[in-house]
Amino acid sequence: MTIAMRTLMKTTSLALFAALTLTACGNPFESRAQEGVFADPTTREVPRDATTVKASFAPVVRDAAPAVVNISAETVQRVRDPFFELFGGGIPRGRVAQSAGSGAIVRSDGVVVTNNHVIAGAQRITVVLNDRREFAARVLLADEASDIAVLQLEGVSEQLPVLPIDTSEDLEVGDLVLAIGNPFGVGQTVTNGIISALNRTETGISDSGSFIQTDAAINPGNSGGPLVDMDGDVIGINTAIFSRSGSSSGVGFAVPASMVRRVVDSALGGATSVVRPWLGVRGEGVTADVARSLGLARPQGLLISDIYPNGPGARAGLRTGDVITAIDGVEINDQGGLNFRVGNREPNDTVRVTFSREGEARTVEARVAALPGSTEIGDGERVRQGALTGLTVASLNPALGERLGGDPFATGTIVLNVDPRSYAANLGLRPRDLILSIGGRSATSIQALGAASRGDEIVIVRGGRRLPGRLP
């Protein structure tokens, strides 16, 4: 079946399968398919008899499985030999490490989507198709923030089977889904389940992710494989599980298709990174106590605590104390949800922001923009005077702050290098330390660091922890 035919049949495929295979999705009315009349595909019913419970997913799998691939990534790790170190040697040697995962072909010339963590740092990537053919692959774009990577198979001489990416976002909790991949390296495997939750943000996986949660069994090796709906379309890429044993416990997460499409489009457009716009606001989720104090009907929304000067939010008229409740009609409850909804758009797109101010519901349009500044650190600048002589640092901007630590509002300087013979090295400063202030002054420039003297208070952030101290 061609891609065009699949697209044309998308709106009726659920109803077509109802009589034969997927009546578990339910149709409470008598079928008139023989007359060319189909039931509303949005109708969803629980199974009502033994026949519907025994319905088969085989037709969906038959269409989807050929476009699901296995991925092997080889990485050379540098290790030291402790035996030779005893005799003053210890020359590093290479050890080949392999990671395995899954992926989906999304374009017939061999464009494949998988997880970034499957191929991160790989020197060689091999993709094995469902029919056992093998292809070398190169990375078109690897996006660490979304954990999505786009690969191009080498030497493809014919059209390959494709899984369409469904970005319609018409999903509901309880919808049937399939997870297809290669768990534990046993070979292609299909598991089924339902959508357990949508828009999961507070997962600890990403600060800008909004995930589909499913109870379909996902295990090591499933990473990068597709989560497929009953139309045989990709609605997400399986990326993580919550588990104490390392195996599936029925709580898996998939990157939504809208973000997958965003990364794929960036890669096919020749970009080397995904440019995520921002609204220029930061806040906290509304708790029950905050909701009562603000007179809100329920604890919902993001209470703005910071607005970037002259950023998109500020230009749209947002203020600190406003409560953002929705972006383009989609409910917002935390910073992660806001970051995902805005970051999933293109720079200069207009978004509709619904918010509450002093108990009054309002709506404004904001033109989102790329984060100011450059993500490239460059060589940095060396501190050549004062108590911090010997440091090489770079000043933070929103784009660099987002890249290094996920906080575009961070201000200060980032330590790139420390001269081991310098006084600064004796202080215990390390690369990637963020210096916030010196002597009560904001450390946003090389001049501020050069003015540091012994006895000054210093505040740094290391590994997310704020560490105050004093220069001895």
Q: Is residue 442 flagged as an active site residue?
A: no
Marked catalytic residue, from 63, 143, 147, 322: 147
| Tokens of residue 275, six digits | 């440019």
Marked catalytic residue, from 13, 72, 117, 208: 117
- Report yes or no: 108 and 162 within 8 Å, Cβ to Cβ: yes
In whole angstroms, how large is the CA radius of gyration of the chain? Answer: 26
Instruction: Say which amino acid occupies 276.
Output: R
DSSP state of 273: S
Within 246-322, residue ranges assigned H as helices are 257-268, 288-294, 312-316
Please give the Cα distance from 226 to 165 (Å, whole number).
10
User: Any long-range contacts for 107-110 (C-beta under 8 Å, 24+ apart)?
Assistant: 107/162, 107/268, 108/3, 108/159, 108/160, 108/161, 108/162, 109/156, 109/159, 109/160, 110/135, 110/137, 110/152, 110/153, 110/154, 110/156, 110/160
Q: What angle do CA 101, 105, 107 make, to 5 degrees?
A: 150
Marked catalytic residue, from 223, 248, 258, 437: 223
Alpha carbon distances (Å) from 143 to 12, 113, 222, 269, 385? 35, 11, 19, 14, 39
- Report yes or no: 217 and 227 within 8 Å, Cβ to Cβ: no
- Report yes or no: 227 and 240 within 8 Å, Cβ to Cβ: no
Q: Is residue 147 flagged as an active site residue?
A: yes
Please give the Cα distance from 448 to 443 (Å, whole number).
5
Q: Is residue 223 flagged as an active site residue?
A: yes
Residue keyed to tokens 């298709």: 257
Say which residues have a Cβ less than 8 Å from residue 25's Cβ, sequence separation at least 6.
Answer: 14, 17, 18, 44, 45, 176, 230
Beta carbons within 10 angstroms of residue 272's beta carbon = 9
Could you list the active site residues?
117, 147, 223
